[in-house]
């Protein structure tokens, strides 16, 4: 049985807006195909083997927890994460995750939180929160579709020259409310502000990440099609709620 090895980073601290549901989607979509997800959890003080995992997941968290996590990431995990990213592992880092994937985040108090530098982005807190339903059109070369979710963040994330957006905003604010971009990508890394959780309504994105992870583990990447009609209905309702015609 082919197995995807997932490293779930800081599940106790970084799990708001039901982000843990993304891992349930990974597990179920693999199980429906006779494949397996092996989950290892890593918290404060734990170190990583950069060759031991195919997929790295980090969700969003409260400001206090994010400060703790930021410093622990740099102290105990950053080198391994950079090595894994450069060696083709897959990453999904959500909300606080995209902020910590970059060069750093200057929060509302002016405190600078360090990032691990796997994405060429930088984030500064704005004067207001960017909240609401969010619809984007992906710009990934492997995936051209609409992706829906919910955003709630004060950070304004700007992309550097070595990062591409996950998509362009159709409805909502995106990274900064001005650029028209949402998320950031490089290699097999995805950072995004899309909550909800993200993946139940966006199975194509889930399968792309799984195919990347399977490729990293040396497994066949062709995934058997599934009946995603329920997810398609949920995505249509979410887009309608964002103000797009059904």
The residues annotated with a catalytic role in the active site are 95, 195
Tokens of 132: 């609401």
Q: How far apart are the first and last CA of the chain?
A: 41
Contact 47, 97 (CB under 8 A): no
**CA–CA gap between residue 102 and residue 95 (Å, rounded):** 12
How many angstroms separate the Cα of 71 from the Cα of each of 45, 100, 138? 10, 10, 31
Mutual angle of helices 203-216 and 21-31, in 10-degree steps: 70
Q: Where are the beta strands (DSSP E) in 64-178?
A: 90-94, 104-106, 112-114, 121-138, 146-159, 167-171
Tokens of 170: 């159709």
Nearest to 128 by CA among 173, 184, 64: 173
**CA–CA gap between residue 88 and residue 83 (Å, rounded):** 9
Nearest to 226 by CA among 36, 34, 29: 29
């Amino acid at each position: 049985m082919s197995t995807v090895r997932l490293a779930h980073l800081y599940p106790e601290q970084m799990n708001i807006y039901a982000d843990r549901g993304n891992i349930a989607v990974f597990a179920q979509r693999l199980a429906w195909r006779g494949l397996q997800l092996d989950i290892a959890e890593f918290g404060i003080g734990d170190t990583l083997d950069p060759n031991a995992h195919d997929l790295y997941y980090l969700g969003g968290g409260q400001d206090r927890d994010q400060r703790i996590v930021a410093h622990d990431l740099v102290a105990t995990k950053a080198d391994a994460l950079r090595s894994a990213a450069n060696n083709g592992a897959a990453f999904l880092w959500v909300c606080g995750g995209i902020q910590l994937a970059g060069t750093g985040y200057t929060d509302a108090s002016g405190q600078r939180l360090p990032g691990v530098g796997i994405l060429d982005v930088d984030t500064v807190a704005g004067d207001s929160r960017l909240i609401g339903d969010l619809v984007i059109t992906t710009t990934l070369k492997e995936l051209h579709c609409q992706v829906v979710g919910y955003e709630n963040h004060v950070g304004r994330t700007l992309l550097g020259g070595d990062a591409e957006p996950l998509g362009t905003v159709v409805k909502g604010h995106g990274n900064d409310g001005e650029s028209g971009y949402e998320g950031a990508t490089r290699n097999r890394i995805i950072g995004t502000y899309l909550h909800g959780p993200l993946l139940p309504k966006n199975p194509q994105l889930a399968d792309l990440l799984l195919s990347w992870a399977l490729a990293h583990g040396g497994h066949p990447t062709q995934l058997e099609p599934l009946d995603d009609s329920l997810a398609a209905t949920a995505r249509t309702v979410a887009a309608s709620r964002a103000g797009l015609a059904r």
